[in-house]
Amino acid sequence: MSQPPLKFLHPVSSLSEAKLGQFDKLSTPELVDSLKPGQPGSLKVKPDGTVMDGHHRIRILRDRGVDVGTHCHEKSFRKILLFDYSSFPFLH
């Protein structure tokens, strides 16, 4: 079953420059780890691909060339997130 692409709830222009600056100081593995289930502020995505939490980190990862949209999908909206870490060799 194909997963829907990630999409932001609000326009990218509404993202906080201060938060983007904060998250940009983190390494790519730190950002990816912060999105994992069980972490404070873990990525939360509706089944239709709408990002509910993690907008700023997703934006930074995309700016760094990480194809996050094809790696994330939530089975249900209850913080159950399936993440294909095999696509991130630096996590092995």
Specify the pLDDT at position 82.
45
Q: Going by C-beta distance under 8 Å and a sequence separation of 6 or more, which residues neighbour residue 10?
A: 55
Write the pLDDT tens digit of every residue in 15-71.
999 999 999 999 998 998 888 877 888 888 887 778 888 899 999 998 998 877 654
Does this model's pTM top 0.85? My answer is no
CA nearest neighbour of 66 among 55, 57, 78, 76: 57
